[in-house]
Amino acid sequence: MNNVAIYGGSFSPPHIGHVICAQYVISTQDIDKIIIVPCNQHAFNKQLFDFDLRLKMCEYNFENIKNVEVSDIEKQLGGTYYTIRTLEYFKSSYPNWNLHLIVGEDIVNSSEIKKWKNYDEIEKLAKLIVLPRSKFKYH
């Protein structure tokens, strides 16, 4: 197992869209495992449900997808969630892994990704898997 995708986010709450994304990546990409990483504290101060509740909801929502696991690494690391920190942790802990990072196209196509801490280093640590977003607007 060398190709591992990190799927981080607030997951507040995790929903069917997150599950579909994970299933899609496992089914269509050369990925051996996806690690779901709910953030401990959001970098942009987004209000979140309690971490342990979000962790349990993620475990429940992703439990039936083969090769998908949920990690509490952000709680272990403590403090504010930064994607770069999570990637650095996995890269140093598992140097033989080829890391990938699952992100939505809305993040990549907006200015938000440029606000991420050490964004220029992220793509050096992990290849991006960019998932399309629907253009459909709910009213």
Cα–Cα dist 25/130, whole Å: 10
Sequence letter at residue 71: S
Is residue 46 a contact partner of residue 78, using CB atoms and an 8 Å limit?
Answer: no
pLDDT, tens only, 63-122: 999 999 999 999 999 877 789 999 999 999 999 999 999 998 877 766 666 777 788 899
78: left (phi over 0), alpha (psi -120 to 50) or beta: left
Q: Is pLDDT at 128 greater than 70 in this prediction? A: yes
Q: Is pLDDT at 138 greater than 60 in this prediction? A: no
Cα–Cα dist 34/109, whole Å: 23
Domain range summary for the chain, segments of one domain joined by +: 3-131
Is the bond preceding residue 132 a cis peptide, omega within 30 degrees? no
Tokens coding 96: 């033989």
Sequence letter at residue 120: D
Q: Is pLDDT at 139 greater than 70 in this prediction? A: no
User: What is the structure's pLDDT at 43?
Assistant: 66
pTM of this prediction? 0.89
Q: Is pLDDT at 135 greater than 80 in this prediction? A: no
Tokens coding 130: 């960019």
Residues in CB range of 33: below 8 A, 6 or more apart: 1, 3, 4, 5, 67, 68, 69
Domain 3-131 grouped into CATH 3.40.50.620: yes
